[in-house]
Amino acid sequence: MSASSRLRKCLFPAAGYGTRFLPATKAMPKEMMPIVSKPLIQYGVEEALEAGLREMAIVTGRGKRALEDHFDINVELEAQIQGTDKESYLSGIRSIMQEATFTYTRQKAMRGLGDAILTGEPLIGDESFAVLLADDLCLGEGQGVLAQMIELYRQFRCSIVAIEEVSPEETHKYGVIAGDPLREDLYRIEQMVEKPARGQEPSNLAIIGRYILTPDIFDILRATAPGRNGEVQITDALAEQARRGCVLAYRFKGRRFDCGSIDGYVEATNFCYRHPS
Ligand code: G1P
């Protein structure tokens, strides 16, 4: 396993349909849903950049071209607003385009998060990388969540998932872990279950959409049979990686909004409107 301490790449699985937001997501990728005036994917890219990751690898699908356009120059628009006070609205996205590079590949069929990550392998290669699910909007305390996780990775050099305590009624929506506490906010994973049936959850520690993965995960994913919902689950591949070696679960410092649900999306919108960054 090659596990160099320097991480460069962040993978964004972004092929999902976002059916909970129909009709808004009929012709628009769910990752382009704005929180106030900034799309979810841009929050994610900013979090990755803050963590020192400059290479964004995006797994898209049909109907997702707006993602590529968002991180590209719009010649007509820029000419139109040049020299006006509206130019400042684009300064954030312009600096992202200077600092980051973007590569894209497409997932042809929805076969699960594990399959989406495996689809990104040609963009990642044989190095450790981060995974960010843009519909989990995370506002870290002090540091962003990925930056917190990369510090841990430097110390432990193994795969790490971010976790959060959720109420027992919510565990069936998540990957859930159980493990041996190494310290108050860190567990060595012993068990992982994707979307456990009610009453079957090993704890109330739910995985949220931030991962650091070592590259041996790709071979494990290739050998992982479809699990929950008939899809290849990253949770199952990580459970296997934990059996072979070590996977950590980190209770991050900060706040997460589940922007894949209407309630979480409205909450995030209200919060970001009141606390502009
Ligand atoms: C995915 C993962 C799940 C994780 C969740 C975090 O589920 O499969 O383990 O807890 O993301 O948001 P999804 O929300 O895509 O169904």
pLDDT tens track for 108-148: 988 999 999 999 999 999 999 999 999 999 998 889 999 99
Q: What are the pLDDT digits (tens) for 61-80? A: 988 999 999 999 888 898 88
pLDDT for 152-208, tens place per residue?
999 999 999 999 999 999 999 999 999 999 999 999 999 999 999 998 999 999 999
Q: What is the mean pLDDT of residues 81-92?
A: 88
| CA 264 to ligand 1 centroid distance, Å | 15
Query: Whose alpha carbon is nearest atom 11 of ligand 1?
Result: 209
For the chain, the average pLDDT equals: 94
Protein residue with its CA nearest to atom 7 in ligand 1: 174
Which superfamily does CATH assign the domain made up of 9-274 to? Spore Coat Polysaccharide Biosynthesis Protein SpsA; Chain A (3.90.550.10)
pLDDT of amino acid 251: 98
Test site for ligand 1: of 133, 252, 261, most ligand atoms within 8 A of the Cβ: 133
Cβ–ligand 1 distance for 259 under 6 Å, the answer: no
Ligand 1 pocket test, pick from 40, 113, 210 with the greatest ligand atom count within 8 Å of Cβ, gives: 113
Residues facing residue 206 across a β-bridge: 164, 176
Nearest C-alpha neighbor of 193 from the set 163, 221, 228: 228
Angstrom distances, CA of residue 9 to CA of 43, 79, 186: 16, 32, 24
CA of 7 relative to ligand 1 center, distance in Å = 23
Domain boundaries along the sequence of the chain: 9-274
Q: Which two tokens stand for residue 6?
A: 């320097």
Pocket test for ligand 1, best of 174, 203, 258 (most atoms within 8 A of CB): 174
The whole model's pTM is what?
0.95
- HSE of 51 in the Cβ direction (CA atoms, 13 Å)? 34
Give 5's pLDDT tier (boundaries 50, 70, 90). low
What integer is the mean pLDDT of 26-48? 96
**How many whole angstroms from 207 Cα to the centroid of ligand 1?**
7
b/e code 124-159 from CB counts within 10 Å (16+ = b): beeebbbbbbbbbbbbbeebbbbbbbbebbeebbbb
- What is the whole-number distance in angstroms between the Cα of residue 131 and the centre of ligand 1? 12
> Relative to the CA of 235, which ligand 1 atom is closest?
9
Output the CA 95–ligand 1 centroid distance in Å: 30
